[in-house]
Amino acid sequence: MKFENSILKGLDSQLGGLLAEASVEEDFTGKAGQSAIFRLPGLGSKRIGLIGLGSEPPSLAAYRGLGEALATTAKAAQARATAVFLASSEGLSAESKLNTVSAIVSGKCLNFIPCLMLVVCTFPVHDTSYLCGEMSVTGTILGVHEDNRFKSESKRPLLQFVDIVGLGTGLDLEKKLKFVEDTCSGIIFGRELVNAPANVLTPGVLAEEASKIASMYSDVLSAKILNVEQCKELKMGSYLAVGAASANPPHFIHMCYKPSGPVKAKLGLVGKGLTFDSGGYNIKTGPGCSIELMKFDMGGSAAVLGAAKAIGQIKPPGVEANLGHVQVHFIVAACENMISGTGMRPGDIVTASNGKRIELVNPEMQVNNTDAEGRLTLADALVYACNQGVEKIIDLATLTGACVVALGPSIAGVFTPYDALAKEVFSASEATGEKLWRMPLEESYWDSMKSGVADMVNTGGRQGGSITAALFLKQFVDEKVQWMHIDMAGPVWNEKKRSATGFGVSTLVEWVLKNSTS
């Protein structure tokens, strides 16, 4: 095998052809996701690794995948520090270089030369170009992070330093990496909220976590926690019905980011906050019900609170810059859906805070009705958000299994009647690499949601279940407010890793920033 890439040629020449020889033995072709680690002397490092990005021009999502592969490879090699040599196209703009670096790594620049290096070359094998330059950064945070809070014995990751060679240096890079580090902090916070079991993360504890964030960044964030009595005063009958059976009372969370200057735009982020969902009297049973995983039914709230944490950090104290004059409301109606004599029953009628009455029954009896509880909590949360005077709302929820059936485990469904809002959010998701797909809001499907004795039922039939769920939420949004619903039931959880993903945080942060500069 002969390398056409000039950097690989140079490395191979310095190693007396051993790199090419080892690549042939390992059948390394550079296809995406392929990796090979060699113990080769002569470069001052213990190992040399090759990680393939494929023959097509890599996307930012591919570079993010590289960051995780880098962490995995370094862990297997027990490396304390790594260096990444990136073979990529000449003529990349300064912004493209910054985006590429931030996609691969997270951390802040350090003037540090690692004493133990794993050199990882990422390249399309036949790419003949290479970018030069040096920078030093700490951590591939998301790839290295492990949630070991509930393990009696755990090892700290060895990897501490990552060198990216060839993508520049300077203040702009430091600022970009600081932003990435802050965003990753929010993602990790969101992951750990979802990973926490329901006996640890109750509605009250979730509210405490929100209050802690507000206290940490009190110059820009505030938190108000409403108890049951205060929610009753606001006539949140739909939300309170869901939490009525639990020994852990509901807590309604309202955080707010306020800029120091005049407010020119108001945004609302609403997250479903079911810290556990038993299904209620329509208890989750049978294969595929995943009742043991229903701690992740607060994944929407984790995304919202993770975004709040990141935004609190991105806006440093005393500096009026990044977030302009945008006000952001972070809202979570936290509760548990349990079973007791005080719980809601199939066939009950509850009244939301906008006066609309909801019958807890499905005409076709194909979908459990007390198990369609998330939308009941979101109904009052959306009304509350509109009452704050917001102009745009995004709600995020692990709402329907139907969306997972439609889009699989990696893609979230997007529902909105507003094309401009969809364009904004999809632009944000393209920058973050989180996968979204716009789904139809078919108004004719609303016929299946009509009740004979109330304004609506809370579930339709199995067909189009994620669409009717979105149509239900639409009934609780002011017509003057641009609204989007994101059903993230699939990508909230990584089944292979048996761990939360932190999905939604980075896209929300990116969207808020885009609104602050528009």
- Would you list the domain boundaries of the chain? 6-146+158-165, 185-517
Tens of pLDDT, residues 353-364: 999 999 997 554
- Specify the amino acid at residue 40: L
Q: Which DSSP string do the residues of 399-412 spell out, in sequence order?
A: --HHHHHHH-SS-E
Roughly what angle, to the nearest 10 degrees, separates helices 18-25 and 6-14? 110
Average pLDDT, the chain: 82
When the candidates are 3.40.220.10, 3.40.140.10, 3.40.50.300, 3.30.470.30, the CATH number that belongs to 6-146+158-165 is: 3.40.220.10
Tens of pLDDT, residues 268-285: 999 999 999 999 999 998
Q: What is the pLDDT of residue 217?
A: 95
pLDDT band, very low/low/confident/very high, at 405 (cuts 50, 70, 90)? very high
Tens of pLDDT, residues 363-393: 544 444 788 899 999 999 999 999 999 999 9
Whether the Cβ atoms of residue 457 and residue 363 lie closer than 8 Å to each other: yes
Domain 185-517 has CATH 3.40.630.10: yes
Lowest mean pLDDT among 148-157, 181-190, 431-440: 148-157
Lowest mean pLDDT among 123-127, 261-265, 495-499: 123-127
Measured distance CA(143)–CA(146) in Å, rounded: 8
Lowest mean pLDDT among 109-123, 216-230, 359-373, 389-403: 109-123
DSSP state of 66: H
Determine the 3-state secondary structure of 431 from DSSP.
helix
pLDDT band, very low/low/confident/very high, at 433 (cuts 50, 70, 90)? confident
82: β partners: 118, 162
- Phi and psi for 369 in degrees, rounded to 5? -90, -45
Q: Which two tokens stand for residue 495?
A: 């089944």
Q: Which residues are catalytic?
A: 284, 375
Neighbours of 479 (CB within 10 A): 7
Burial class (CB in 10 A: 0-12, 13-18, 19+), 88: buried
pTM value is 0.85
Does residue 125 surpass a pLDDT of 70?
no
- Phi and psi for 42 in degrees, rounded to 5? 110, -10
Q: What percent of the chain has pLDDT over 90?
A: 55
Q: Which of 457, 412, 473 is nearest to 439 (CA)?
A: 412
Measured distance CA(140)–CA(346) in Å, rounded: 48
What are the residues whose beta carbons fall under 8 Å from the beta carbon of 464, sequence distance 6 or more?
Answer: 402, 442, 445
Does residue 449 surpass a pLDDT of 60?
yes
